[in-house]
Amino acid sequence: MSPEQPIAILGGTAGLGRALAMRLVAAGRRVVIGSRVKERAEKAAGDVNKLVGVELASGDLNESAASVCDIVFFAVPFAGLYQLAKALKKVLKSGAIAVSCVVPLESDVGGTPEYLEPSNGSAAEALQATLGNEIKVVSALTYVSAHALEDLSNPVDCDIVVCGEREASQRVMEILSLISGVRPLYVGGLKYSRITERLTVLLIGLNRQYNSDRAGIRFTYI
C-alpha cells in the first residue's frame, strides 16, 4: 500500500478513532475521518491537523470516507456497528480491509463493564458476517487505550495482537507499526478476537485498581 493512500477511520471524531488518527497523521499518513455528520468530521480533521502540525487529515461522512480507502478502521460503539456495516456494505471497495476496533461492552451503574457476547462470538466476527466474505475483517486495537494513543509526547508502550486472514492482517500491522512504541503481533484467525476483545474488561479493571487510564500489554519471549 502506497503511503499516499488514505486510511479511513469511521467514528474518528472522538475517543479511540480520533487518537488513532493523530498517531497516523503524526507518522506521515493521510487519514479520512468519518462521521455520521460531515461537519463533525471536518472539525475533527481540522483539530487533528492543528494538534499534530501537518495537514494530512480530512473529514467526510462515514460512507464517503469508506468508499475511497482500501483500509477502513471501524472505531464506533458496538450499538452502532450493525447499522453502519449494513450501510457500508454497498460502498466499500472490492477487496477492502475492514479493521474492527470494536468491543461490545455494557456498563452497569457504578460497576465494572461486562463483555456482551454477540451471537457471532465477537464484534469482529459480527462485522465479518454483515460485510460478507468479499471484505476481509481484521481485529486490532481492541484493548489499546485512547489516552495512550492521543498522548503524542510519549510512545505507546504496548503490543497489539492482530487477528484475521494473514495477508490482510500483515497490511494492518504495517500501519500499526508506524505508531511509536507499538509492536504488532499476529496470532491467527478472526476467532481470536473473542479473546482480544475481552482483554479490554481486564485492562479497565487494572486501570481502576492502579489509578491509570492507559494500562497496556507486553508479551515476553516472542
Q: Do 49 and 55 meet the contact criterion of CB atoms below 8 Å apart?
A: yes
**Strands 136-139 and 158-164, sheet pairing:** antiparallel
Footprint (CB under 6 A) of ligand NAP, residues 22-41: 35-37, 40
Q: For residues 186 and 163, is the Cβ–Cβ distance under 8 A?
A: yes
Instruction: Please identify, using beta-carbon distances, which residue of 27 and 199 lies nearer to ligand NAP.
Output: 199
Residues 52, 60, 78, 192: which binds ligand NAP (CB under 6 A)?
A: 78
Q: Does 144 bind ligand NAP (CB under 6 A)?
A: yes
- Nearest distance, CB of residue 98 and ligand NAP, angstroms: 14
From 6, 11, 164, 216, residue interacting with ligand NAP (rule: CB under 6 A): 11
Q: Contact between 99 and ligand NAP (CB under 6 A)?
A: no
Least Å from the CB of residue 64 to ligand NAP: 13
Task: Please provide residue 6's backbone torsions phi and psi, each rounded to the nearest 5 degrees.
Answer: -75, 155
163 binds ligand NAP (CB under 6 A): no
Give the other-Cβ count within 10 Å of 84's Cβ.
22
Q: Using the rule CB under 6 A, is 122 a contact of ligand NAP?
A: no
Total residues found in the chain within this entry: 222
> By C-beta, is 95 or 208 nearer to ligand NAP?
208
* Minimum distance of ligand NAP from residue 147's CB (angstroms): 7
Q: Is 49 in the site for ligand NAP (CB under 6 A)?
A: no
Alpha-helical (H) ranges within the chain are 15-26, 38-52, 62-67, 78-88, 123-131, 146-150, 166-176, 193-210
Distance CA 140, CA 138 (A): 7
If one asks whether residue 193 binds ligand NAP (CB under 6 A), the answer comes out as no
Q: Rounded CA gap, 18 and 8, in Å?
A: 11
Residues that bind ligand NAP (CB under 6 A): 11, 13-17, 35-37, 40, 75-80, 84, 101-103, 105, 141-142, 144-146, 200
